[in-house]
Structure 1
Amino acid sequence: MKKYRIHVQGMTCSGCEEHVATALENIGAVNIEASFLRKEATFELQDDVEIETAQKAINEAKYQSGDAEVLESHDVPVLGDEGDYDLLIIGSGGAAFSAAIKGVEYGAKVAIIERGTVGGTCVNIGCVPSKTLLRAAEINHLAKNNPFLGLTTSAGTVDLAELVKQKDELVIQLREQKYIDLIGEYGFELIRGEAKFLDEKTIEVDGRKLTAKRFLIATGASPSIPDIQGLKDSDYLTSTSLLDLKQLPKSLAVIGSGYIALELGQLFHHLGTEVTLMQRSPRVLKEYDPEISEAVTKAVTEQGMNLITGVSYDRIETSGNLKQVYILVNGEKKVIEAEQLLIATGRKPNTEVLNLPAANVNLGAKGEIMVDDFLKTSNPGIYAAGDVTMGPQFVYVAAYEGGIAADNAIGGLERKVNLEAVPGVTFTSPSVATVGLTEEQAMAKGYEVKTSVLPLDAVPRALVNRETTGVFKIVADSKSLKVLGVHIVAENAGDVIYAATLVVKYGLTVQDLRESLAPYLTMAEGLKLAALTFDKDVSKLSCCAG
């Protein structure tokens, strides 16, 4: 294949970039990167496709193609002859498999090194097991607390061991289908064992020395444990061990109130456990907009969870079957007692045993691997992707980065990571979803900001559901009304946020949302209503009256 750069006139926004990319995709181009700021598009074409075909496609898309230049031509990885492998990947989660598959497609010799269970955090101990149990807990909660008069529902005793057994069966199934089976399908190698670097081009795996032309570190992250007196001796739980409990505790104390704490705390609350959430900061989800924090706080307290903010931790003791957490709140000493204690205070990168100084790989203050826009570390032959870099902690971000790392390390491309429109979802009930800039972030970037805040009781879907605790918020540039961020607390917010992600990614405006047709009695209609709220009182509109 040949890699080209074409100068393109007429692109003015990210939406234009998408139009150019689509035109090039239609003629078979791959690895496309269009930039309206640089006024260019880079891409690859098969050798039998003339560059004039690409120029014609751009012109037909109503843009003006200019001079074209060949950047490089290759059919196999652009690497030297040294090394046992073209690409050695440490880790076996989303980033690792994405990179391995892409590397094999380039014709590279690829191996993955894994010290534990194949599949990484998401399928084994994170997304999949927690979300299936969250759904079970939600059903149990609704059976005991449905909002409709005249409808009698009830729930029996929760058999946690049976729920966990079913969860484990799903995990095994998805691990086989989405990870293990793909090793043979694509033909890369799996090496079992602990990896550590001996020098810049050599690692050791359980006594076996291996060399490679390029490395990718994708070892993920694990629960971070705070330094609280007595914690080490308290037999505490983490997000991993909590999901393997076989007996439902009567009470659970949670240190932390980020998305993991909220999800797992609500999970056990909905199964029937008395839950207390504790946190140092004055509000939950402190990095989100205040309206989001307020809505979440209202939701969890309405449901009967205990939330304590502004906490200072003194010590933790164990008395019989109870954990005792000694805290200070507004100058007042308190003791929180519970059968089980969950630590959910964030995550730390898994870099301790890699011996990265030997490879000349620089780390950040939290032990994370420092990378540039191309995911290259301080060692030009070593890349890193996913949670180990402490970027957005989502498996879809890890997979995206793994593919880019392989393109750059093996394909010889220069793809930059773009994380400007990454959606995030917290799977509580109601769920929390966000994309783009918060109001505070937008102002820090120099925008003059205009916002719209729509309470959920203004959304018809919420009214018919009889669940009206929540909010829609849109952050926009006050001059152009370009949407900079969307933040939602509502049922199915995670489904709605994908549409908002496209709005932010492609630079759409509040007016674009106003002029779109939103299906009535869907939660997605809240996006349009929030857009109308910029200059209308939606309570005075009739149904569907945009």
Structure 2
Amino acid sequence: MSDDKTLHIAVIGSGGAAMAAALKAVERGARVTLIERGTLGGTCVNVGCVPSKILIRAAHIAHWRTESPFDTGLSAQAPVVDRAKLLAQQQGRVEELRDAKYAGILRDHPAITVLSGEARFLDAHRLAVTLNDGGERIIDFDRAFIGTGARPAEPPVPGLANTPYLTSTSALALDTIPERLIVLGAGLVALELAQAFARLGSRVTVLARSRLLSAEDPAIGEAVETAFRREGIEVLKQTQSGRIDHVDGEFVLETNAGTLRADQLLVATGRTPNTESLNLESIGVTTAQGAIRVDDRLRTTVPDIYAAGDCTELPEFVYVAAAGGSRAAVNMTGGKATLDLSAMPAVIFTDPQVATVGLTEAEALEQGFSVDTRVLDLENVPRALVNFDTLGFIKMVAQRDTGRLLGVQAVAGEAGELIQAAALALRARMTVEEIGDELFPYLTMVEGLKLCAQTFTKDVTQLSCCAG
């Protein structure tokens, strides 16, 4: 236990969950020892959200300079891609944000002590930290928070481990664009990067074990697949690799669809929690496939040890990690806070974007709801019409008897910008009739929510442009 009366909290990690926990804990009067074995900032700012969205944005601009719906009246010409300069711009912004939002805050905070090293639990109130500069420190704590994140997983494909394959981390650090790229995986990371590299000049093949975005409503994967094929990205569904080799500078994949070859192979088939070095089992912290089990107050199976973020079974989004970290800190310092994910929005930054919140139709039925659903094609959304880009849809799932909104799934340009309105409606337990009666600004994509809601009671094709 700590020597003085100030509550002492050990925070392991420095990403979204850990930083939120540390800052909220000191705000509530605790002192914090934060332990980070690698680079401050965790996945999001260093090798995840920030660099990937910069790459995706650059690729989007390259695509529009090459091809757009307005090419009959606007000249188009494929740009010359200087990946090395794009990478320098990308990493420059990463370093700025890491210093501003992580290193700088920790540097100037008197209640937070930072140790560079690897932590392992000795018991439920002591940590041993193997310092990066040599030596070891024993840390006594009152509470501990684990926010160690996750890393790209390596699937057990024969031969793969002996090849120089790319992960999402190393792909984002490439200073050249490969001529031929195979992407193993069909989840959000795989698809975001597949499309980005294709738009920057790679010939891309996506290998999906089942279908694209198999955890989502099937119509979502179908819409994204249509967009990919339209851009020349090859999609091989129901395809698995039995062996992968790297021969004479080339990847060779033996699959049930035949032999495939590429200059680079990106493996994006999931993530593995960074928990194996923490000695959790010996102190009674329960994990499942390495992911820490937590309750709705972010408490592990050991009373004074909490966790959040990608090292747990929570959804792998940085805003969920940060929300979990801050709520854990409230609970570690005597408060009572829970993490409610019933209205959790999610965005996949393909083009068109995929945005979801709440229950899918299948999930609602599984939970015993009697449901009513509507699907609005983007041909019925004025913003999509004036953009000359109508690939996609908005789907609403409602409770049949009451009309209460249960979930929204959208595939649209900038779908991520409309989903929070749906999340707020879901949180407010609004009905589709109430959503349909709200004022929405004309010629915005979010107006599609209003139109979709109105389809529960009327034929929106018979409305004037901006009829209420």
**TM-score, scaled to structure 1:** 0.83
For residue 220 of structure 1, the aligned residue among 138, 146, 149 is 149
Measure, in 2, the Cα distance between the counterparts of 1:406 and 1:312. Answer: 43
For residue 519 of structure 1, the aligned residue among 433, 441, 449 is 441
Measure, in 2, the Cα distance between the counterparts of 1:136 and 1:83. Answer: 52
Please list, as runs of the form range in 1=range in 2, the aligned pairs for 1:143-222 lying within 5 A after superposition: 143-148=65-70, 149-187=72-110, 188-206=112-130, 207-222=136-151
Is the contact made by 1:82 and 1:212 (CA closer than 8 Å) also made in structure 2?
no
Asked if 1:319 is matched to 2:247, the reply is yes
Asked if 1:484 is matched to 2:406, the reply is yes
Please list, as runs of the form range in 1=range in 2, the aligned pairs for 1:34-53 lying within 5 A after superposition: none
Is the contact made by 2:21 and 2:328 (CA closer than 8 Å) also made in structure 1?
yes
Q: Shift of residue 430 of structure 1?
A: 0.8
Show the counterpart of 1:435: 357
* Amino acid aligned to 2:44: C
Show the counterpart of 1:503: 425
For residue 237 of structure 2, the aligned residue among 309, 317, 340 is 309
Measure, in 2, the Cα distance between the counterparts of 1:323 and 1:348. Answer: 24
* Amino acid aligned to 1:182: I
Is the contact made by 1:386 and 1:398 (CA closer than 8 Å) also made in structure 2?
yes
Is the contact made by 1:349 and 1:387 (CA closer than 8 Å) also made in structure 2?
yes
Q: Shift of residue 335 of structure 1?
A: 1.3
Show the counterpart of 1:243: 172
* Amino acid aligned to 1:391: L
TM-superposition CA deviations, 1:403-452 (whole Å, max 9, x none): 11010011x12222211111100011111100000000001111001001
Is the contact made by 1:84 and 1:210 (CA closer than 8 Å) also made in structure 2?
no
What secondary structure is seen at the aligned counterpart in 1 of 2:195? helix
For residue 191 of structure 2, the aligned residue among 262, 265, 268 is 262
Q: Shift of residue 540 of structure 1?
A: 2.0
Asked if 1:351 is matched to 2:275, the reply is yes
Measure, in 2, the Cα distance between the counterparts of 1:185 and 1:101. Answer: 12
Show the counterpart of 1:105: 27
Note the residue ranges of structure 2 that are not aligned, 5 or more in a row.
131-135
Note the residue ranges of structure 1 that are not aligned, 5 or more in a row.
1-78
Is the contact made by 2:207 and 2:240 (CA closer than 8 Å) also made in structure 1?
no
TM-superposition CA deviations, 1:475-513 (whole Å, max 9, x none): 100111100001111111111001011011111110111
For residue 286 of structure 1, the aligned residue among 207, 214, 220 is 214
For residue 312 of structure 2, the aligned residue among 384, 389, 406 is 389
Is the contact made by 1:84 and 1:211 (CA closer than 8 Å) also made in structure 2?
no
* Amino acid aligned to 2:22: A
Show the counterpart of 1:360: 284
Q: Percent same amino acid at aligned positions?
A: 48
Measure, in 2, the Cα distance between the counterparts of 1:132 and 1:98. Answer: 24
Measure, in 1, the Cα distance between the counterparts of 2:460 and 2:313. Answer: 41
Root mean square deviation, CA, Å:
1.4
Measure, in 2, the Cα distance between the counterparts of 1:222 and 1:84. Answer: 34
Measure, in 1, the Cα distance between the counterparts of 2:66 and 2:5. Answer: 62
Show the counterpart of 1:420: 342
Measure, in 1, the Cα distance between the counterparts of 2:106 and 2:122. Answer: 27
Measure, in 2, the Cα distance between the counterparts of 1:312 and 1:144. Answer: 33
Q: Shift of residue 539 of structure 1?
A: 1.9
Measure, in 2, the Cα distance between the counterparts of 1:371 and 1:80. Answer: 25
Measure, in 2, the Cα distance between the counterparts of 1:166 and 1:438. Answer: 39
Higher Rg of the two aligned structures: 1
Mean Cα displacement is larger for which, 254-263 or 305-314?
305-314
Measure, in 2, the Cα distance between the counterparts of 1:81 and 1:189. Answer: 16
TM-superposition CA deviations, 1:24-60 (whole Å, max 9, x none): xxxxxxxxxxxxxxxxxxxxxxxxxxxxxxxxxxxxx
Measure, in 2, the Cα distance between the counterparts of 1:124 and 1:181. Answer: 15
Is the contact made by 1:349 and 1:367 (CA closer than 8 Å) also made in structure 2?
yes
Show the counterpart of 2:369: 447
Q: Shift of residue 116 of structure 1?
A: 0.3
Is the contact made by 2:6 and 2:30 (CA closer than 8 Å) also made in structure 1?
no
Q: Shift of residue 181 of structure 1?
A: 1.1
* Amino acid aligned to 2:271: R
Measure, in 1, the Cα distance between the counterparts of 2:208 and 2:54. Answer: 26
Q: Shift of residue 153 of structure 1?
A: 2.1
Asked if 1:130 is matched to 2:52, the reply is yes
Is the contact made by 1:311 and 1:328 (CA closer than 8 Å) also made in structure 2?
yes
What secondary structure is seen at the aligned counterpart in 2 of 1:353? coil
Question: Runs of 4+ in structure 1 displaced over 6 angstroms?
Answer: 82-85
Asked if 1:401 is matched to 2:330, the reply is no
Q: Shift of residue 82 of structure 1?
A: 7.4
What secondary structure is seen at the aligned counterpart in 1 of 2:310? helix
Is the contact made by 1:138 and 1:267 (CA closer than 8 Å) also made in structure 2?
yes
Measure, in 1, the Cα distance between the counterparts of 2:235 and 2:389. Answer: 21
Q: Shift of residue 378 of structure 1?
A: 1.0
Measure, in 2, the Cα distance between the counterparts of 1:427 and 1:184. Answer: 33
What secondary structure is seen at the aligned counterpart in 2 of 1:428? coil
Q: Shift of residue 312 of structure 1?
A: 2.5
